[in-house]
Amino acid sequence: MDSKALKELAYSSGFDLCGIARAEPIKKVKEHFEKWIADNYHGEMSWLSKDPNRRSDPSRLLENAQSVIMLGINYYHNNSKIVPKNSGRVARYARGKDYHKVTENQIRNLIVEIEKHFKEADNQPLFKWWVDYGPFLERAYGAKAGLGFIGKNSMLINKKFGSWFLLSEIVTTLKLEPDDYKMTSKDQCGECRLCVEACPTGAIISSRRINSKKCISYLTIERPTHIHKKLQMQFGENIFGCDICQQVCPLNNEAGKTKNPQFQYSQGVGEFIDANQIISMTGEDEYLKLTAGTALTRPKLKNMKRNAEILLENQKENQKSNDI
């Protein structure tokens, strides 16, 4: 099977992007990652610091790995101009069905299709795959597979979809013609610094380095124990996740709205969540009724209540300063 045929299968299985990288370690990426961990920019996400060698070496994930198939799905939605009173905005990626579930189904179907090309069972290549949660540096291998370049905001940016796409990967023993792009030590953003300037908490420390402990996405989703008041005050209209450093990026203007029916708002919580509805919930069951099957099941009700309270407090403060 050649790379072209494989990519056709990926597109017909619902992926918007597909690229191939050699299953080899990327030394510079390993160094970058280890420094990031040493600086404690991962905060309480201790699972990230376990066995860093695995993250940048696919052969440690699958014996005799030859290729990494990097896949992307566009999830873009327009934002409404007005946020309803007492409501908070949900990051775009989380508004429809949980992308992990959507992608997992697509990957399973894709592998079934690939296997059809190998008649004898003995001849079947092996596959291991992950969506986000694998011990794998998805953006770095996404760049190596030619899906885009890594911008100052540390997002992987594609010509057609900007950074509005989610990544997943299949590591395989199948030898495929690689796209293998050279990663540049500098970002390709030129003089632009819009994301760095727009980040409300100053979480973009330097080009491609994010201090998670200051990032609103981390603070609202990844259950840190305590959030400093100064940071809370910068949450703005966000109640779950944050899209600001993507929103301002000029390379994100061209992305068309996602065509994937599972990312439609009817399949999830949609663009806004009513903060009072969250605060009045009495148990996880009630929270699950609202969020089951979506990415919002990651934080527990306790932390979503905290997010809701921060949102209402900020709206109250804004109102006060508007009244002056």
Residue of 16, 57, 98, 138 interacting with ligand B12 (CB under 6 A): 138
Does position 91 interact with ligand B12 (CB under 6 A)? The reply is yes
Choices 108-116, 145-153, 168-176, 316-324; region in contact with ligand SF4 by CB under 6 A: 145-153
When CB distances are held under 5 to 8 angstroms depending on the partner's kind, the choice from ligand B12, ligand SF4, none that residue 111 binds is none
Instruction: Estimate the crossing angle of helix 99-115 against helix 3-12, to 10 degrees.
Output: 130
Find the shortest distance in angstroms from Cβ 192 to ligand SF4.
3
Q: Is 212 in the site for ligand B12 (CB under 6 A)?
A: yes
Query: Is 51 tagged catalytic?
Result: no
Answer yes or no whether residue 222 interacts with ligand B12 by CB under 6 A: yes
User: Which residue type is seen at 221?
Assistant: I
Regarding 167 and contact with ligand B12 (CB under 6 A), the answer is yes
For residues 32 and 117, which CB has a smaller minimum distance to ligand B12 in the complex? Answer: 32
Are residues 50 and 109 in contact, defined by beta-carbon separation less than 8 angstroms? Answer: no
Judged by beta carbon distances under 5 to 8 A according to partner kind, the member of ligand B12, ligand SF4, none in contact with residue 199 is: ligand SF4
Task: Give the integer Cα–Cα distance in Å for 311 and 174.
Answer: 49
CA distance 161 to 103: 17
**Binders of ligand B12: how many residues, by CB under 6 A?**
39
**What residues line the site for ligand SF4 (CB under 6 A)?**
151-153, 189, 192-195, 199, 201, 203-204, 210, 215-217, 242, 244-245, 248-251
**What residues line the site for ligand B12 (CB under 6 A)?**
26, 28-29, 32-33, 36, 45, 48, 91, 93, 132, 134, 136-140, 150, 153-156, 163, 165-167, 183, 185, 208, 210, 212, 215, 217-218, 222, 241-243, 245
